[in-house]
Amino acid sequence: MSLLAVSNLTRRYRRGGKTVVAVDDVSFHIEPGETLALAGPSGSGKSTIARLVLRLIEPDAGAIEFEGDDFLALRGATLRARRARLQMVFQDPLAAFNPRATVARVLDDPLRIHDIASRTERPRRIAALLERVGLAADLAPRAIHEISGGQRQRVAIARAIATSPSLIVLDEAVSALDVSVRRQILDLLLDLQRQERIAYLFISHDLGVVRAVAHRVILLDAGRIAESGDARAVIDAPQSTIGKALVAAAPRLKRTTQDAS
Amino acid sequence: MSPARRFLRTPEAVAGAILLAALIAMALVALLFPGDPQAIAGPALLPPFQDWSLPLGTDRLGRDVLAELFHGARASLAVGLAAAAAALAIGSVVGTLAGFAGGLVDEVLMRITDAFQTVPSFLLALAFVSVVGPSLGVVVIAIALGTWPGPARIARAEVLSIRERDYVASARAIGMHPLEIAFREVLPNALPPVLAMSSVIVAAAILTEAALSFLGLGDPNRVTWGGMIAEGRAVLRTAPFLSIVPGIALVLTVLGVYLAGEGIVETTAVRRGLS
Ligand SMILES: Nc1ncnc2c1ncn2[C@@H]1O[C@H](COP(=O)(O)OP(=O)(O)O)[C@@H](O)[C@H]1O
Ligand SMILES: [Mg+2]
């Protein structure tokens, strides 16, 4: 049984009288502990799929099965409780946090909401979470806007793992970071995956990163799946036109594939 | 430069702050000095600057005008602040619920807001006090009733933009209850433009209170500036100071509130613009 099974997912947007099919009949599945990458040009529907999977928006058609349950059937308190198992990390960690929040508060929220630790125990849990993502525990009282972009993304990851999820959706989670910080965050994600068997839905337009971290990849084009399969196989020898275009547009990648051949 | 320093370098803001500080001092001092404003203190209609124990003279009943003025400051300030606070609180809550919930809730709440906004707020206050009866609390509610739609609209507009932000999606994704998202994540961030209205609202509330008192719809057990002006009207030709003194106090107060409020908004807005 797959951890997440998405079938025939469709989502349309109406904009100024005409309809955009942002996600068009998309099906895929993710196994426990696996990294599935969603890649595609800007506007191909990656973020829409992320939001659909997280039930932040509702699909026009299709089904989502998560941990064996019909995820789209969950409502209210049941849905909120289940959200502990399915977390998200956004591209811009500054936008993803309340501008008034402190590090401690954004980590306290999931622990409090899901009753993971008592009020007195939570500061210790927050310190442990910070250490888990490679941050100093004394960062807790700092305001989110005071810390660096890399630290912020680590805090976002700490918040995502606070509830011990089985799946984390990473929507361009490393795209805004500079190269050295990106490397460290990717290492942290891989490390967490090895230890906790977390599955990732890894969204990126950077095929170099996808090739390095994903087991399988789905290439999207205008809301449809253009190509999918083993990440290295697909990226090293793309069959679809969009796949070839994406590989051609990734300069770092071209070099590595040429080196390999 | 810190906002406080920038505030101090704005002459209008400083003038407003001084006026406001004087008003607050008057309101506080009124508890001890200069005595009971309802007591007969001397001969009737004593002009100002004649007797130094009654520097602003006396009214038709021989009551100390200075004492009345100080106690009136208390009433004006209390009613103005309380009514503005109530209007801002109701407005932010209604605006946040409407903007955040959307759909039918939004529709219903905004229709109610429309209804309140269509009726001129002074008429609404007048009608409410006439029906319920004049007392300080009723006057506060009456003024707030006509004032909250403005803040509600501004809060709603702000909430509509905030609810699309990633951090709201992030709060939903961790399973936060919608009411907690609305009031803990969204509302505090929607407040700055709402609070920016507060100086205008306080000033308007003080004027509305004075107008109600002038029409005899203020709390009859309290001295208010509006009531003093109304009292003085009967002897306007022979003792114009009885209306002029509280009139000047009213003008200076409204000006002070407005200038100080604008100063605060301006200096904090610059800070937000820089960061
Ligand atoms: N809230 C929205 N309203 C209207 N159109 C939208 C909305 N969100 C996304 N779209 C459209 O849906 C398509 C897919 O967008 P998105 O999922 O954000 O793509 P990606 O993340 O791959 O860049 C685009 O054409 C985009 O303009
Ligand atoms: Mg996107």
How far from B43 is each of B54, B55, B239, CA to CA, in Å? 10, 13, 14
Which residues are within 8 A (CB) of A133 and not within 5 positions of it... i.e. 6 or more apart? A154, A155, A157, A158, A161, A188
Q: How far is the C-alpha of A154 from the C-alpha of A33, rounded, in Å? A: 20
Q: What is the pLDDT of residue A17?
A: 87
* Chain A residue whose CA is closest to B275: A145
Determine the straight-line distance between the first and last CA of chain B, rounded to whole angstroms.
13
Q: What is the mean pLDDT of residues B188-201?
A: 91
**Among B15, B42, B80, B48, CA closest to B243:** B48
| Single pTM value for the model | 0.86
Determine the straight-line distance between the first and last CA of chain A, rounded to whole angstroms.
37
Q: How far is the C-alpha of A104 from the C-alpha of A80, rounded, in Å? A: 21
**Complete DSSP assignment for A112-131:** HHTT-S-TTTHHHHHHHHHH
Q: Is residue B160 predicted with pLDDT exceeding 50?
A: yes
Protein residues near ligand 2, an ion, with CB under 5 A: A 47
In this predicted structure, which of A83-97, B27-41, B105-119, B142-156 has the lowest mean pLDDT?
B27-41
Domain boundaries, chain B: 3-274
How far from B220 is each of B95, B135, B138, B212, CA to CA, in Å? 35, 7, 12, 11
Q: Is residue A222 predicted with pLDDT exceeding 80?
A: yes
Q: In sequence order, which ranges of A90-206 are alpha helices (DSSP H)?
A: 103-113, 122-132, 149-161, 179-196
How far from B129 is each of B132, B215, B217, CA to CA, in Å? 5, 11, 7
Ligand nearest to the CA of A219: 1
**Residue A218, H or E segment:** strand A216-221
Question: Which range has the top average pLDDT, A169-183, A215-229, B23-37, B198-212?
Answer: A215-229
Residue from the list A95, A100, A145 with its beta carbon closest to the beta carbon of B166: A95
Q: Is residue B268 predicted with pLDDT exceeding 90?
A: no
Q: How far is the C-alpha of B185 from the C-alpha of B171, rounded, in Å? A: 8
A78 contact residues in B (CB cutoff 8 A) = none
Q: What is the pLDDT of residue B33?
A: 67
Ligand nearest to the CA of B164: 1
A79 contact residues in B (CB cutoff 8 A) = 175
User: Which protein residue's CA is at the shortest distance from atom 3 of ligand 1?
Assistant: A13
Average pLDDT, chain B: 89
Residue A24 Cβ inside 6 Å of ligand 1? The answer reads: no
What is the atom index within ligand 1 of the atom nearest the CA of A15? 4
Residue A40 Cβ inside 6 Å of ligand 1? The answer reads: yes
**Among A184, A135, A176, A186, CA closest to A159:** A135
**Among B64, B54, B55, B16, CA closest to B199:** B16
Contact B150, B95 (CB under 8 A): no
Place domain B3-274 in its CATH homologous superfamily: MetI-like (1.10.3720.10)
Confidence of residue B222 (pLDDT cuts 50, 70, 90): confident
Contact B193, B199 (CB under 8 A): no
The CA angle B18-B241-B45, to the nearest 5 degrees, is: 130
B167 contact residues in A (CB cutoff 8 A) = 95-99
Give which of A82, A107, A109 to mutate to test B binding, by max B Cβ within 10 Å.
A109
Q: Considering just the CA atoms, what is the radius of gyration of chain B in Å? A: 22
User: Which protein residue's CA is at the shortest distance from atom 27 of ligand 1?
Assistant: A43
Residue A42 Cβ inside 6 Å of ligand 1? The answer reads: yes
Q: Is residue B113 predicted with pLDDT exceeding 70?
A: yes
Q: What is the pLDDT of residues A166-186, one digit of tens each?
A: 999 999 999 888 888 999 999
Q: Is residue A241 predicted with pLDDT exceeding 90?
A: yes
Q: What is the mean pLDDT of residues B50-57?
A: 82
**How far from chain centre, in Å, is Cα A118?**
28
**Sheet of A199-203: strands edge to edge?**
A86-89, A167-171, A199-203, A35-39, A216-221, A224-230
**Sheet of A18-30: strands edge to edge?**
A18-30, A4-15, A61-66, A69-70
Q: How far is the C-alpha of A144 from the C-alpha of B189, rounded, in Å? A: 15
Quote the DSSP letter at residue A244: H
Q: What is the pLDDT of residue A258?
A: 47
Average pLDDT, chain A: 93
A229 in helix, strand or coil? strand
In this predicted structure, which of A62-71, B50-59, B229-238 has the lowest mean pLDDT?
B50-59
Q: What is the pLDDT of residue A66?
A: 97
Quote the DSSP letter at residue B72: H
Q: Go through the domains of chain A in sequence order and give each one's CATH number.
A: 4-85+165-249 (3.40.50.300), 94-164 (no CATH)
ipTM over 0.95: no
The one-letter code for the residue type at A110 is P
Q: What is the pLDDT of residues A47-87, one digit of tens each?
A: 999 999 999 999 999 999 999 999 999 999 999 999 999 99
How far from B230 is each of B72, B214, B219, CA to CA, in Å? 13, 5, 14
Contact B121, B147 (CB under 8 A): yes
Q: Is residue B269 predicted with pLDDT exceeding 80?
A: no
Is A97's CB within 8 Å of B165's CB? Answer: no
**Among A162, A48, A143, A47, CA closest to A97:** A143
The tokens for A58 are 């509702």
B267 versus A4: the higher-pLDDT residue is: A4
